[in-house]
């Protein structure tokens, strides 16, 4: 197989990998919400507790569980991803940015990265392996 053929075949996987990225990111994101709401797979630091449901952290947990679940399925991806991108921007600037300019220093890598991953999906959509794609047929 020649290099151009290999590149052509690999590039055809782009849309499918878009779906895989969405599913993996959503599954990890969902765990942040289950930690806040159900103390699963672990509770919130420092004491393994859960968040009060009507607190800011509790509402974030609800967004992460339900929004992450919808993104995992690829259902209503564009609006849900846009909302979650905003949630992550707020989380980053409210809890991390004031400590340092650099996300790696202020421990804000996850919310900064999720902000832009979800922003990407709000524009690009869920990809072919999604309920959104099934609804469009």
The answer on pLDDT for 75 being more than 80 is: yes
**CB neighbour list of residue 42: distance below 8 Å, 6 or more residues apart:** 35, 48
**pLDDT tens-digit series, residues 22-52:** 999 999 999 999 999 999 999 999 999 999 9
Whether the CB-CB separation of 81 and 57 falls below 8 Å is answered with no
The answer on pLDDT for 1 being more than 90 is: no
Name the one residue in this structure whose structure tokens are 């650099």.
Answer: 102
Of 71, 81, 63, 84, give the one whose Cα is nearest residue 131: 71
pTM of the entire predicted model? 0.93
With a pLDDT cut of 70, the percent of the chain lying above it is 99
Q: Where are the domains of the chain?
A: 3-136
**pLDDT tens-digit series, residues 88-128:** 999 999 999 999 999 999 999 999 999 999 999 999 999 99
């Amino acid at each position: 197989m020649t290099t151009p053929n290999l590149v052509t075949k690999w590039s055809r996987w782009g849309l499918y990998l878009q779906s895989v990225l969405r599913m993996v990111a959503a599954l990890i994101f969902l765990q942040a919400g289950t930690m806040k709401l159900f103390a699963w797979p672990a509770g919130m630091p420092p004491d393994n507790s859960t968040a009060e449901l009507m607190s800011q952290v509790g509402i974030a947990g609800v967004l992460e569980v339900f929004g992450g679940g919808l993104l995992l399925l690829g259902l209503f991806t564009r609006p849900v991803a846009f909302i979650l991108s905003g949630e992550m921007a707020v989380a980053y600037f409210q809890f991390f940015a004031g400590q340092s300019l650099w996300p790696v220093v202020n421990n804000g890598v996850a919310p900064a990265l999720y902000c832009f991953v979800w922003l990407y999906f709000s524009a690009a959509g869920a990809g072919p392996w999604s309920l959104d794609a099934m609804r469009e047929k």
